Amino acid sequence: MQFRKRENIYVFSELPSTQDKAWELVSNGVPSGSLVIAGIQTVGRGRQGRIWHSPAGSLCFSLVLFPISSRQSNGITLSAARVLQIALKSALGLETRLKLPNDIYFQEKKLAGIILEVKQDKAVLGVGLNVNCRTGSWPVGVCAVSLREVLNRRVSRCAILSAFLNNFQKENLTLCVLKGRI
């Protein structure tokens, strides 16, 4: 398992789960805003215990967020989904559809999933996005698509991640201002 750390960004070529690694890091005292990224997840998960398939070419990441109130946690998943749509539109010009509460679709195929796990006042937001995965990467019966398949070219995972993080930060700063916290 390859690992690089740079200012609270933890990058792995492969992990069982970015969510599990993020929670492990939370228990070791990492600050809010810490990011765990993996090229492949072998035991990724979605909402309600569903399996999230993350073949080679995926962008899988988990973002540590705290302090979080239970009231705030209700809007984070939807906010992250909207931000991911904005990132895909701004970076690639791609229009997607949000399937509430946490999936991004292109036409009728799943492109991304989002999960939020909350423990006390801490949260880990997980995003799995099919970026450069090849046709046939998913098990039979999984109706998914990758950006590479949609656009007929390789796509920069870094550009998408950067667009997501920049827009997520702006969205949350706006919410703080609207709620009078800044």
The angle subtended at Cα 152 by Cα 150 and Cα 153, nearest 5°, is 115
pTM for this predicted structure: 0.88
Q: What is the pLDDT of residues 153-167, one digit of tens each?
A: 999 999 999 999 998
Kindly state the tokens that stand for 98: 């949000």
Domain 3-178 fold: BirA Bifunctional Protein; domain 2 (3.30.930)
**Rounded CA gap, 112 and 135, in Å?**
15
Evaluate whether 84 touches 116 at the Cβ level (below 8 Å). no
Contacts of 133 (CB under 8 A, 6+ apart): 55, 56, 57, 58, 144, 146, 148, 149
Kindly state the tokens that stand for 132: 């450069």
Q: Does the structure show a pLDDT above 70 at 4?
A: no
Q: What is the pLDDT of residues 17-53, one digit of tens each?
A: 999 999 999 999 999 999 999 988 988 776 666 667 6
Q: Could you tell me which of 66, 46, 50, 58 has the C-alpha nearest to residue 126?
A: 46
